Amino acid sequence: MDMLAAASTERDAVRFVNDVKDRVGAYFTGRDLSRNASRAMVAKTAVMLGVTVGAYGLLLSGIFGLWGMLLLAAVIGVGIAGIGFCVAHDALHGAYSEDHRINRLLGYTFDLCGANGYMWKITHNAIHHTHTNVHGLDEDLTVSPLLRLSPHAAWQPIHRFQHIYALFAYSLSTLFWVLAKDYKYFAQRDLGPYRNLKHKPGEWAAMFGLKGLYYLWSIVIPYLVLDLAWWQFAIGWLVMHLTAGAILGVVFQLAHVVEETEHPTTPISGGAEWMVRQMETTSNFDCANGALSWFVGGLNFQIEHHLFPRICSVHYPAISRIVKTTAYEHGFAYNEHPTFMAAVGSHLRTLERLGARPLGV
């Protein structure tokens, strides 16, 4: 009976996957649409880059007082998050353009914001997307020892309070990224499912060189140009990072660490069963909110992103209706929260549950 049930489930998965691929493909071919960036996506890219560079230029002008400069630092933080969501993420997935040179060029915006695009492709594209929510493999579940994001992770007494301090922990994420994370991952021989990893000398050189450019524009130039005490400058730099970190941390966690998503223990490498697992481990939120979708680069449509990571995020709202309808037709769950705050609430309740002392500990 168990074997028959498993075979039936596998056939259902194959039917769902075939249908959803065919229907999404027909959406693009029937409208003669490219799966890559549209004019609206290019315009959004220009806005995100323009706001960030513009705020940086205004900051360097020195015409604003301390509070004005602090506000501009926060705006730069928002811009960095927006560039990550709307430009670099699509480019590093190869979804922005069919021309790999354009993807590579725009992918460097990630490096200029302080993070390493090469390492992101390993930890996010290869590991997270393949082994979503699998403890011990998915690096996104190990963002900090202060956070227990999987029921299979080791529990510590401090985790009892993680639903209280999680937002603060998330706000530190870009600080850790630009100061330590990439160096740590480059030095590790074992990463997720990979063993004895070795990186080409060119990637090491690019990492150090691009980190240097980031430190130059974000620390050296402003410190030399602006007439500020070191502690005043440090506060502004921290505000920039705390803003970007809080935004990025919260948005990414709402996709996988909520009440409805599953935490499997065994990996799946591909096929129909893998696509169904993406449905089980991923959740959407506030999909009717056009302004939010615009800013987060469609990452509130995480189901669509995990099923079709090579499709540009600008198309997610349209294909989400196809995916949702097809999932319901085949009896598969489609996890979503109606609002951003509903997703935040679900995430905090999940953190509280995961932070409770497990039985027998």
Residue 9's pLDDT is 67
Residue 168's pLDDT is 93
Q: What are the tokens at 280?
A: 């089980």
On the question of pLDDT at 7 being above 80, the answer is no
The 10s digit of each residue's pLDDT in 12-21 is 889 999 999 9
Residue 271's pLDDT is 84
Q: What are the tokens at 134?
A: 């699998």
On the question of pLDDT at 3 being above 90, the answer is no
On the question of pLDDT at 69 being above 70, the answer is yes
Asked whether 133 and 262 are in contact (CB, 8 A), the reply is yes
The 10s digit of each residue's pLDDT in 19-42 is 999 999 999 999 999 999 999 999
d(CA 176, CA 153): 21
Query: Radius of gyration of the chain from Cα atoms?
Result: 21
- What would the mean pLDDT of 144-167 be, rounded to a whole number? 95
The 10s digit of each residue's pLDDT in 314-325 is 999 999 999 999
Q: Could you state, in order of their start, the residue ranges of all structural domains in the chain? A: 2-355
- What would the mean pLDDT of 43-66 be, rounded to a whole number? 96
Residue 270's pLDDT is 76
Indicate yes or no: pTM above 0.95.
Answer: no
On the question of pLDDT at 234 being above 90, the answer is yes
- What would the mean pLDDT of 205-228 be, rounded to a whole number? 97
On the question of pLDDT at 361 being above 70, the answer is no
Residue 6's pLDDT is 40
Q: In sequence order, what DSSP letters do the residues of 96-118 get, joined into one string?
A: S-SSHHHHHHHHHHHHHTTS-HH
At 10, the pLDDT band (50, 70, 90 cuts) reads confident
- What would the mean pLDDT of 239-254 be, rounded to a whole number? 95
On the question of pLDDT at 332 being above 90, the answer is yes
| Averaged confidence pLDDT in the chain | 94
Q: What are the tokens at 87?
A: 């430009």
Higher pLDDT: 11 or 9? It is: 11
The 10s digit of each residue's pLDDT in 270-299 is 789 999 999 999 999 999 999 999 999 989
DSSP 180: I
d(CA 354, CA 345): 14
Residue 101's pLDDT is 97
Residue 39's pLDDT is 95
- What would the mean pLDDT of 249-263 be, rounded to a whole number? 95
Q: What are the tokens at 284?
A: 């959407």
Amino acid 196 reads N
On the question of pLDDT at 50 being above 80, the answer is yes
Asked whether 235 and 71 are in contact (CB, 8 A), the reply is no
d(CA 275, CA 278): 5
End-to-end CA distance of the chain: 36
SS3 call for 64? coil
Residue 269's pLDDT is 74
Q: CA angle 350-175-293, nearest 5°?
A: 55
- What would the mean pLDDT of 183-202 be, rounded to a whole number? 93
The 10s digit of each residue's pLDDT in 119-139 is 999 999 999 999 999 999 998
d(CA 41, CA 177): 27
